[in-house]
Amino acid sequence: MKQRQGIGLEFEIDKLTNSIQNMITGDSFTTEVILVNSISELKVVLKKNGWQFNWKNELKQPQREVYKLSITNNQNIIQGLISLEVKSDHVYMHLIESAPFNKGKEKVYAGVPGNLVAFACKLSFQRGHDGNVSFVAKSQLIKHYEESLEAAHIGGRIMIIGRIAALKLTNKYFPNEK
C-alpha cells in the first residue's frame, strides 16, 4: 500500500467480500465510506501509529478528496483511507491504505482495499464517468490487479478499471445503492 513519486500504488486485494470480514470469526460488517472534512479526523492516522503515508498532507491537496472506511455505527475507527481525484472522464486513485491493524498475517479485517476500490468505482458512476477508475501500479502487481479487480493494463504501469469491472465491484460492495 505504498506509493512514492513515480513508483505507483502497492495494495493487495486480500479478498473481495460484501463489506469487511473479521478474520477470526468470519463475520461480515457493513461499512460506510465518508469524506474526511478536517485534519482533526486524522489525529490518530500517523506514521508513529503504523500508517505509511502522511494523510494530513494528502487532505491539503485541493484537487483531491480523502475518504475513510468505517464500520457502520463506528465511524471513530478508521479501517482504511483512499485519496481520489475526479478528472474530466474518470476517477484517479492517488493513495490507498488499510489501517495498520488490517495489514499482514495478523490483520483484523479482510476486504478493506476491495471496499475502497469499489467506492472509487461508485464515485465514478455518481460523477458521470461510467465507473472508470485509473491508477499507476507497481510493476510486480499488474497481474494481481488484472486478476483480482479485472483491471486493464493499458501501458507502462497504468491500470484502468472499466465499466463492467466497476459494476461488478460496486454491486458486490454496494448492492443496495443504485
Question: Alpha helices of 29-90 — where are they, by DSSP H?
Answer: 55-59
Report the chain's mean pLDDT, rounded to a whole number.
90
User: How many angstroms separate the CA atoms of 124 and 21, rounded?
Assistant: 25
The distance in angstroms from the start CA to the end CA of the chain is 29
Q: Is the pLDDT of residue 40 over 70?
A: yes
Per-residue model confidence as pLDDT tens digits over 4-39: 445 676 666 666 667 899 999 999 999 999 999 999
Banded model confidence at residue 3, pLDDT cuts 50, 70, 90: very low
CA 86 to each of CA 90, 118, 151: distance values in angstroms, whole numbers, following the listed order: 6, 15, 18
Per-residue model confidence as pLDDT tens digits over 82-122: 999 999 999 999 999 999 999 999 999 999 999 999 999 99
Domains of the chain: 20-173 (3.40.630.30)
Q: Parallel, antiparallel, or unpaired: how do β-strands 91-98 and 133-136 relate?
A: parallel
Per-residue model confidence as pLDDT tens digits over 122-143: 999 999 999 999 999 988 889 9
Helices 142-149 and 112-126 cross at an angle (nearest 10°) of 70
Q: Indicate yes or no: pTM above 0.75.
A: yes
Q: Is the pLDDT of residue 170 over 80?
A: yes
Supply the pLDDT for residue 1. 40
